[in-house]
Chains A and B, each alone.
Chain A
């Protein structure tokens, strides 16, 4: 599935509607979303708080069940997918959160290994080797056995990026990865994401408020009140 061609979009969303709540409290948060993202494309999604960006991201990532419309990720339809299919879908993604969400009882190296262990196809020495190499790539080769509490904010986010990318995911999803960082660390983190994703030919969907990092995008989509605006479904950048 990872060798999807440029002709076939990696993420393909059609007529997606999403609702929160039940009965009288039922409220529509996403309206007729159409979005296609090709392999290797870096797409930044902007928009005010509460516009539905994060909800869309959780649907793309398989963290929420798609209710109506079509959501094809790497050729797999997530609308009406079983729980097990959602779990499998999550394993093709690399996640970068606003907070680093590293496990505090694990060292940097062990945290990154957890990104490989979920695939359950590597032996322990292989995992250790990959994780070490990945941490060296994010410039933390000398911090392998540090616990998160002994790392700075930027370093922690770099470990989180290493954890997300160590399994060479087809899709990288990031939710405001720079929100908790100062401008320099934020810039470093984004450059790193861009560099690694290009090397691994991953597709990136990044949600942000941060105008300073918009320049890494191949395409910018804007979301407002649950609707996508300025969106051309034909990708030019791939």
Chain B
């Protein structure tokens, strides 16, 4: 029955939109603008979440040990290495590796400009990251004052990369030390640091003279087969002093994510940006739809005089709103994808367009247009046929 009604119905909303090309274009660019804004905000937010958790995600271990003061990967604080030796006593623990983390300024070998880099140091015989590229080259960092460079670091590194790929090495300066770049890997920059260097624990301590071998940033524990992850983690927390906390790998990744989502302003800022995008969209679509309703007041009143219900006219306005939502959305996906790529190239941030976000923004767009439509329909009541007769 409803299908039959729809099939016989004149697509009035669509015909109205199509008739006024200028207004259609205004509405579409407004929606596309709002959608692109939303896409960029969501993209940046996700990129931030990803970049701030990409090293934690790459950890190759069953259990991660942190200082109880640690808030996130960039602020891990330190704990005594002794705790890791103590952990080795616990049944089921196969290995417990120390990882040293720090942030310093180095001179970009190509531009000679100072930028902030994260430095990660660990025993090159015992890899702690699931980065095959890094693990293949760990022998190289056994040589004093050598580092591996993240080739996705923010800044100009093209020459550096091409030289190293040709098998050459490059030297640069960190404080008063001269370091040699002997290899490359690829992870990506974060908002905190422009890039990352991986080296051995010994080299790390050379670069950070105030750090001691006995104070580590992070411990990576692997278990023997046949032991329950949660049990060992619980036991570790109970057995070791309160200055450390043990997490399973999964818990640790969630801990990092949770920090960014709650303790940092990132979620709020980009959430606000998204809301602003939505409001801009609602205002623009409302403007267009209410002008359209106003322009057609006499026609709508005529329809009412002919016996059409108010409901029918509501339908026309919502039809327009939904049509605008869909055809405004399509170009915005294309443009946002392009902008993601441009931004990714410019900032070395991992901006991607997952299907889930496309669907989310489509739903937001439909909501946006429906809300605008709902506000615009309030004017329909003034389409009184008694007044135009």
Contact = CB atoms under 8 A, between A and B. Distances in A.
Interface of A: 54, 57-58, 61, 63-64, 87-88, 90-91, 93, 95, 97, 99, 101-106, 110, 113-115, 117-118, 120, 122-124, 127, 147, 163, 175
B19 interface: yes
Of B9, B15, B20, B385, most buried by chain A (CB within 10 Å of CB) is B385
B251 interface: no
B302 A58 contact: no
A114 B386 CA distance: 20
A53 to B, nearest CB: 10
Interface string B1-43: 0000101111010011011100000000000000000000000
A89 to B, nearest CB: 8
A90 B15 contact: no
11 contacts: A57-B389, A63-B389, A87-B307, A90-B304, A95-B305, A97-B388, A101-B299, A105-B16, A110-B10, A120-B8, A124-B7
B306 A114 contact: yes
Contacts of B20: 105
Closest 6 CB pairs of A and B: A91-B307, A105-B19, A90-B307, A101-B302, A105-B16, A63-B386
Contacts of A163: 306
Contacts, number: 76
Given A63-B385, A101-B298, A106-B10, 7 more contacts: A63-B386, A63-B389, A91-B306, A99-B298, A103-B302, A106-B12, A124-B8
A24 to B, nearest CB: 23
Of B8, B18, B20, B298, most buried by chain A (CB within 10 Å of CB) is B8
Contact of A61 (B9, B303, B305): B305
A58 B8 contact: no
Contacts of B307: 87-88, 90-91, 93, 118
Contacts of B298: 99, 101
A113 B10 CA distance: 8
B296 interface: yes
B386 to A, nearest CB: 4
Nearest to A103: B299
B309 interface: yes
A91 B308 CA distance: 8
Given A90-B305, A101-B388, A105-B16, A117 B9 contact: yes
A113 B385 CA distance: 20
A57 to B, nearest CB: 6
A213 to B, nearest CB: 19
Contacts of B303: 103, 114, 118
Nearest to A127: B8
What class of interface size applies to chain B in its complex with A?
20 to 34
B8 A95 contact: no
A95 B302 contact: yes
A90 B306 contact: yes
B389 to A, nearest CB: 5
Contacts of B309: 87
Interface of B: 5, 7-10, 12, 15-16, 18-20, 296, 298-299, 301-309, 385-386, 388-389
Nearest to A107: B15
Contact of A115 (B8, B15, B306): B306
B386 A103 contact: no
A63 B385 CA distance: 6
A105 B15 contact: yes
A114 B8 contact: no
Contacts of A175: 389
Contacts of B385: 58, 63
A118 B5 contact: no
A120 B296 CA distance: 23
Nearest to A94: B306
B306 A118 contact: yes
Contacts of B304: 90
Nearest to B13: A105
Contacts of A120: 5, 8
B302 A117 contact: no
A64 B15 CA distance: 30
Contacts of B5: 120
B306 A104 contact: no
A120 B19 CA distance: 25
A54 B389 contact: yes
A91 B304 CA distance: 10
A2 B305 CA distance: 19
B16 to A, nearest CB: 4
B219 to A, nearest CB: 71
Contacts of B9: 117
A104 B301 CA distance: 14
Contacts of B306: 90-91, 95, 114-115, 118, 163
Nearest to A113: B10
Nearest to B306: A118
Nearest to A122: B8
Nearest to A119: B307
A30 B301 CA distance: 24
B8 A105 contact: no
A88 B18 CA distance: 31
A120 B305 CA distance: 16
B10 A63 contact: no
B305 A117 contact: no
Contacts of B299: 101-104
